[in-house]
Amino acid sequence: MSKTIPEITLNDGVTVPVIGLGTYKLKGIEGVRSIQNAIAAGYRLIDTAYNYENEGTVGEAVRRSSVPREELIITSKLPGRYQEHEKAVTAIQESLFRANLDYYDLYLIHWPNPKQDQYVEAWQALIDAKKWGLIRSIGVCNFLPEHIERLEKETGVKPSINQIELHPFFNQAEQRKWHEENNIKTESWSPLARANKVLQNDTIQTIAAHHNKTVSQVILRWHYQLGSIAIPKSSSPERQLENISIFDFSLDNKEMDLISGLTVPDGRINNQDPAVYEEF
């Protein structure tokens, strides 16, 4: 049985589903089968990155799927080591060659790497690639408001999406509010906090039991009601279906607040603070 996932429109007019599939670690023929299965189940947004070294796997799954290419939203990301303008342009082309696709729907700068101070020229490369028809919508990941403000000031173009670490232990309230005020869509990476201790959390377990849903479904519904696009990764057909079966119940304000209240200042999974973290 396949599910229909609601869609939203980004600030540049591109329409995307409100939940997608993360693909970190989905590689090779098993990865192709997992992604193919997800598409058959109803997923239309697939998130990869140059640095995951699985753009080829994603492209292969897209070609093997019976869903037309234009109904899919394929995202990839520019690595930190290729932020210099010329290198960024080449990396975007290489990303496409690896996937054997003509265009990406979304292309994001993977990390700002502020010490390197090249994210504005990387952004210019994404703007150029969009003009050339290689990308439909451009965005960023892990950018703080100050980084995005600089992009807009120096190029006049603002991102459609900022993909950030977001889960019950790190709810990103301030950053989300800033995105809302600036008409930038929030996308949640590691939305299930990698499904470690969060699955045993008493508060969420109680809410899940009340709705007759799983802990993962409650967390993904929380993302949806926060207005963020979650991209849970799962290799398993059962869990993939579970993760998109969240549109037949809702959380009330108290439940939303209880989940948001699980956030702690050091709640990041691997302490990756975009102000100082460097990704290559």
Ligand X SMILES: NC(=O)c1ccc[n+]([C@@H]2O[C@H](COP(=O)([O-])OP(=O)(O)OC[C@H]3O[C@@H](n4cnc5c(N)ncnc54)[C@H](OP(=O)(O)O)[C@@H]3O)[C@@H](O)[C@H]2O)c1
Cα–Cα distance measured from residue 71 to residue 45, given in angstroms and rounded to the nearest whole number: 9
Q: DSSP label at 233?
A: B
Residue 47 in contact with ligand X, rule: CB under 6 A? yes
Q: Across the strands, what pairs with 185?
A: 161
93 binds ligand X (CB under 6 A): no
User: Does residue 246 belong to the site contacting ligand X (CB under 6 A)?
Assistant: no
Amino acid letter, 128 = D
178 is a contact residue toward ligand X (CB under 6 A)? no
Core vs surface per residue 158-188: b (16+ CB within 10 A) or e: bbbbbbbbbbbbbbbeebbebbeeeebbbbb
Inter-axis angle of helices 119-131 and 85-99, nearest 10:
50
Q: Is 105 in the site for ligand X (CB under 6 A)?
A: no
Stretch that binds ligand X, among 96-104, 154-162, 230-238, 259-267 (CB under 6 A): 230-238
Of these, 37, 137, 142, 160, which contacts ligand X (CB under 6 A)? 142
Residue from 19, 148, 233, 262 touching ligand X (CB under 6 A): that is 233
- The reply on whether position 231 binds ligand X by CB under 6 A is yes
Q: Please list the active-site residues.
A: 52
Q: How far is the CB of 93 from ligand X (least distance, A)?
A: 21
Alpha-carbon distance 77 to 187, whole Å? 14
101 Cβ contact partners less than 8 Å away, ≥ 6 residues apart: 59, 62, 69, 74
Among 11, 12, 24, 152, binds ligand X (CB under 6 A): 24
Q: Is 241 in the site for ligand X (CB under 6 A)?
A: no
The residue within the footprint of ligand X, chosen from 54, 216, 228, 245 (CB under 6 A), is 216
**Footprint of ligand X on this chain (CB under 6 A)?**
22-24, 47, 110, 141-142, 163, 189-195, 216, 231-236, 239, 242-243
